[in-house]
Structure 1
Amino acid sequence: MTRFLNVAILTIASIFFSSAAFSQSESGVEQLRQFVRNSKTAEGDFVQQQLRAPKANESQDKGLKFVRQTQGHFVFQRPGRFIWDTQKPYEQKLIADGKQLILWDTDLNQATFRPAGQALASTPAAILFGEASLDQHFDLLESEERLGMKWVALTPKQDPSAKNKNDLPYTKISIGMTNGLPKALELTDGLGSVVLVTLDKIQLNVNLPANRFTFTPPAGAEVLRLN
């Protein structure tokens, strides 16, 4: 179930999908705040690249090494519903219906169901899909401008009452904003590996049918239910 571990990557991206009219003169932080406040629904395309840091026996001068790339289509509805539909190089869907998280693997003909709260507990999605302000859970820091985007660094705020002070698997989360839209997401882990998600063809505040996030496994599929 190694693919299921990508849920942290995929769900973080789901904070992105809405916006109003913006001026690029606004800071990246303000663009992100307004866009999260106005999030309703959206859909578009994504490309996700995984890059790893060089191993100890490899040259450190060549930087990050390309591992794999996937691409597909996303649909989002706040709070707590999304479809992350990977179409290449394999077919796989990650579906959150507000109560459970479902991984459908076409090649394996297998559907895996997990309670959404538990499955997303170690990711920002549990917070970002809710009604609360982004600022209640993250410190937002204006970062550099590069690749035509204004970047915002997100640092989780520490909860003194929390047993685990750092549940997130990433040491750095950055979002690239342009004209009020998130165009890129960078996730860096403790080993220096990076996941880069870029978004394209985003349609905002689209009308979605009530059953858009309902998934029923086809007849004959293997079904796993994890508690």
Structure 2
Amino acid sequence: MQKSLSAFALTFAVSGFILFSASIGMAADVDGGAEQLRQFVRNSKTAEGDFVQQQLRAPKANEPQDKGLKVVRQTQGHFAFARPGRFVWDTQKPFEQKLIADGKQLILWDKDLNQATFRPAGQALAATPAAILFGEASLDQHFDLIDGEERMGMKWVALAPKKDPKAKGGNELPYTKISIGMANGLPKALELIDGLGSVVLVTLDKIQLNVNLPVNRFNFTPPAGAEVLRLN
């Protein structure tokens, strides 16, 4: 089985780029997290930095109940993005895997499996929070932004996806809650909760804003001998 990480990496990466698309430090003087996020989305062009991704769950019945959520999977690495439509989500530990969007396609490269999977970026990302990065419309056209509580030293903003009456079956995301944590004018965390109560937490560090990123940073050619899968 492919580490069961392909979906894990894809979920984190496309969702995490809500934060990256919102990364420009000119809203520190704005009190509301929702308005800060709006300003970030309007003004961010590029960013890179480090990430830690955690999948969390509540303790089971036979486990101590006072320990809070338990980390069941963790990865870490480096990210870079250029708006619109290009990013690299480079997982470095505990193993090497890359998720790359070049503006037209989404590529998952697994070094251990020597396998590259290609799929159309639009189809893979259209129904995810990454639409904030890849769309040119305002954030408020896709989400209702709701100022939330302050915790973990951050001001949290809830994102409620708006319904698209033209979409078949609606445009519902696989999460019951999407939240972004803001601190000192920067997005620092993304929290996703699904219908089963599983929690995905992405934290960012060492963010550099509006840096010069060459276009070939987002190119990927599978090495000779690699297995290549192309999904429509």
Could you say which TM-score interval applies, normalised by the shorter chain? over 0.9
User: Aligned with 2:16: secondary structure?
Assistant: helix
Normalising by structure 2, what TM-score? Answer: 0.91
Of the three residues 156, 163, 171, the one matched with 2:161 is 156
CA RMSD, 1 decimal: 1.7
The worse-fitting range, judged by mean Cα deviation, of 103-112 and 19-28 is: 19-28
Normalising by structure 1, what TM-score? Answer: 0.93
Q: Check conservation: 2:85, 2:103, Cα contact below 8 A.
A: yes
Question: What per-residue deviation string (whole Å, max 9, x for no partner) do you get for residues 68-118 of structure 1?
Answer: 110000001111110000000010000000100000001111111011111
Per-residue deviation at 1:59?
5.0
2:230 paired with 1:225: yes
Residues 3-152 of structure 1: pairs in structure 2 closer than 5 A: 3-6=5-8, 7-17=10-20, 18-24=23-29, 26-55=31-60, 58=62, 61-62=65-66, 63-152=68-157
Q: Percent identity?
A: 77
Question: What per-residue deviation string (whole Å, max 9, x for no partner) do you get for residues 164-184 of structure 1?
Answer: 235311110010001221000
Question: What per-residue deviation string (whole Å, max 9, x for no partner) do you get for residues 152-196 of structure 1?
Answer: 000001122322235311110010001221000100000111010
| CA–CA distance in structure 1, aligned partners of residues 36 and 185 of structure 2 | 5
| CA–CA distance in structure 2, aligned partners of residues 127 and 14 of structure 1 | 8
| CA–CA distance in structure 1, aligned partners of residues 127 and 6 of structure 2 | 13
Partner of 1:198: 203
Closer, same or farther: CA 159–47 of 1 in aligned 2, 3 Å: same
Partner of 1:188: 193
Per-residue deviation at 1:212?
1.1
One-letter amino acid matched to 1:149: M
User: Aligned with 2:216: secondary structure?
Assistant: coil
2:218 paired with 1:213: yes
Which residues of structure 2 form unaligned runs of 5+? none
| CA–CA distance in structure 2, aligned partners of residues 60 and 130 of structure 1 | 44
| CA–CA distance in structure 1, aligned partners of residues 132 and 184 of structure 2 | 25
Q: Check conservation: 1:24, 1:178, Cα contact below 8 A.
A: no
Closer, same or farther: CA 96–179 of 1 in aligned 2, 3 Å: same
